[in-house]
Amino acid sequence: MKDPRRITKGNFKHSLMEIFFLVIASAVSGMTDWDDIEDFGNFRIAWFRKYFPYKNGIASHDTIARLFAALEPAEFGKYFIKWADSIREDTENEVIAIDGKRMCGSADSANGKAALHIVSAYASANRLTLGQLAVNEKNNEIVAIPELLDIVDLKKSIVTIDAMGCQKVIAEKIISKDAQYILALKGNQKDLAEQVKRMFEINRISSIHTSHDMGHGRVEKRTCSVITDLDLLDQRQDWKGLQSIIKIDSERYHKKSGKTDNETRYYISSLTSDAEQANKYVRSHWAIENNLHWMLDVVFKEDSSKKRAGNAAANMNMVCKIALARIEKAEIKASKRRKRLKALMSDDIREYMLGLF
C-alpha cells in the first residue's frame, strides 16, 4: 500500500504496517478512538513487539489520526478487497446485498461537511464485507453501485439491491459478471412497477410460499409469490436477463403494542427460483442491515464517532469491518461485545481472533 506520508516527508518513526497492525488489533479488542488505541498499544507494547519492532514505541494518537485522514480510501479499498477475497469461503448461490449507510458522526455542519454514505457489498452467508465505496450524498449511491459491482467478485452469486439500484445498467452489469439479481421495485420505475403490480392481479402465480418468523418482539408472516410467465410484461426485453417477478406480502404482529401492520413489496429478478427460494433470497438481503450496519452502530459505536478530518471516517469504517469479520469467524461462545472484551484481556484470544495462529 502506498504510504501517503511520503508525499511530504521521508523519515518516519513508525512504519505503515506497525500502525495498521496496532489499529486493527485495537479495533478487535474494543478500541476505535485514537486516544484509546494509543493507550492500548502502550499497555500491550510487549505483545505488539512479538510481531513488529516498534523501535520508537507506539505511534501517538495524533500520528495515527493524520495517517488515516491522509490515506486514500480507494487505495486502502484495493487491499481490503484482496483481503476479503482471501478469507471468503465458496458458497453456492450466496446473496450479496448492496446497500448504503450514513455515517452520522462524520458530518461537520460548522464547516459545511456532509455526512459520508458508505455503499457496501455484503456476502450474507460469509458475513463478510467484500468491498465498499464512499460518497458524500445519498443520491450519489446510484453512481457508486455500478463502480462497486465492477471491483467485487460476483461470480455465481445473487445480488440484491433496494429500489435505488433498480436500473437497467445495473441489471446488465450484474449479468455480465456471471451473477443473478433481485432488484426491489418502487416509484423510481413507475411504469414497470404498475405493470408488475397489475400482473399479480391478472396472471397465474407460478409458485407461492409462506414463512413465519419470530424475534425482536414481533411475529412476521411472509408470503412470497412468483410469476415466471412474463409475456404480458411490456418492458421485459429492456431488462437484461429478466426471468421472473416477485411479490412479498408481509404481516407483522407487534407483541408490545398489539398492533398488526401489512406491507407489500415487489421485485424483478433474473432467477427462475420457486417462491420458497425467492423468499429466502429476499430475506437474506436484510443481513446487511442486521449483521453489518446494526453491528457497526451498536457494537463499534460508529454513529457516535467524531472522525471528521480528511478520509479518517471512511478508512476507519474499513478497519471496523475487518475487525467485525474476524470477530464473526472466532468460534467463541459469547456476544460480539464480550468477544471484544475477551480479546482486550487475553493475548491468546486476541491472537486467535486475528488469525495469528
Distance (Å, whole) CA 330 – CA 326? 6
- 145, 165 Cβ separation under 8 angstroms: yes
Please give the grid coordinates belonging to residue 307.
472522525
The reported pLDDT for the residue numbered 84 is: 96
Q: Give DSSP secondary structure letters for 346-357.
A: -HHHHHHHTT--
Cell numbers 451498536 correspond to 298
Cell numbers 418482539 correspond to 217
Distance (Å, whole) CA 326 – CA 317? 14
Residue 121 sits at the vertex; the CA angle it makes with 117 and 123, to the nearest 5 degrees, is 145
The reported pLDDT for the residue numbered 9 is: 57
- 280, 210 Cβ separation under 8 angstroms: no
Q: What is the pLDDT along the chain (357 residues), one digit of tens a residue?
A: 888 886 555 568 899 999 999 999 999 999 999 999 999 999 999 999 999 999 999 999 999 999 999 999 999 999 999 999 999 998 889 999 999 998 876 767 666 667 789 999 999 999 999 999 988 776 678 889 999 999 999 999 999 999 989 999 999 999 999 999 999 998 789 999 999 999 999 989 999 999 988 776 788 899 999 999 999 998 889 999 999 999 999 998 888 888 999 999 999 999 998 999 999 999 999 999 999 999 999 999 887 787 878 889 999 999 999 999 999 999 999 999 999 999 999 999 999 999 997
Please give the grid coordinates belonging to residue 346.
487475553
The reported pLDDT for the residue numbered 262 is: 93
Domain ranges of the chain: 4-74+310-353, 168-276
Distance (Å, whole) CA 106 – CA 117? 9
Distance (Å, whole) CA 53 – CA 174? 45
Distance (Å, whole) CA 156 – CA 140? 27
- 101, 120 Cβ separation under 8 angstroms: yes
Q: What single letter denotes the amino acid at residue 208?
A: I
Give how far Cα 227 sits from Cα of 165, 167, 198, 246, 355, Å: 21, 20, 12, 7, 46
The reported pLDDT for the residue numbered 109 is: 66
The reported pLDDT for the residue numbered 153 is: 94
